[in-house]
Amino acid sequence: MKRSRPSLRSAVSVLSLLAVAAVVNRHLPTLERLAAHALPVASGLAVAALALLGLGWGAGKLVGAWRRARRQRAIRLADIDRMSGHEFEHYVARLLAHRGFDTRVTQSSGDLGVDIVAHRAQARYAIQCKRQNANVARTAVSDAVAGKAPYRCTHAMVVTNRYFTPGAAKLARATQCVLVDRDQLAVWLLELQQHHGRRALSRDAV
């Protein structure tokens, strides 16, 4: 039986493979060096990608925590805004007690402009509490400062669920009266919540 000759296409394929093998064999050391350098680079890129993914996850956690803190802060201040003046005074006394003060809420009538007397170490504060819907004017500052002498206090303080007018802030600087506005009050509330849990926000806990 007569054998068939290899086709021209098969011969060309064989020659091409031989040529490729010769080129690879000739440049094998160079290819090995390139591979040795490429592997660390690829590993570094993989590590960087994982790091970026980790940073993205961490940033997402931080954003989520920030949003939760804003929601919780709004809830706490909303609870304060719904309190009566008497409830607010007792709640401020509780916040001060949590911060290490010994406190006493004065009588509702004839308090001489002082709602709470609080002392810690050598400092004794005459405190005026203002739970209201408008910013606090300078009258509250002058009342607290004037109330220091009758209660034998060394310092004056005004605590509010709002903010202070420029006139009130100016008088406080001149008389060294401590002002606690809505933002600082939120910090105090957060500290109390972290220590006692969400029940610290309840009006029933006042």
Domain ranges of the chain: 8-81, 82-205
Q: Are 140 and 128 within 8 A, CB to CB?
A: yes
Q: How buried is 45 (Cβ within 10 angstroms: 0-12 exposed, 13-18 middle, 19+ buried)?
A: exposed
Residue 110, classed as helix, strand or coil, is coil
Bridge-partner residues for 116, per DSSP?
105, 127
> What residues contact 90, with CB distance under 8 A and at least 6 apart?
105, 206
pLDDT interval class at 68 (50, 70, 90): low
> Which segments within 61-154 are labelled E, that is strand?
102-105, 116-120, 123-130
Question: pLDDT (tens digit, 9 = 90+) per residue, 20-63?
Answer: 556 555 655 665 565 555 555 555 566 556 556 566 666 676 77
Q: Are 127 and 116 within 8 A, CB to CB?
A: yes
Name the strand (E) or helix (H) holding 85: helix 85-98
pLDDT interval class at 188 (50, 70, 90): very high
Domain 82-205 bears CATH identifier 3.30.930.10 = no
> 0.75 exceeded by the pTM?
no
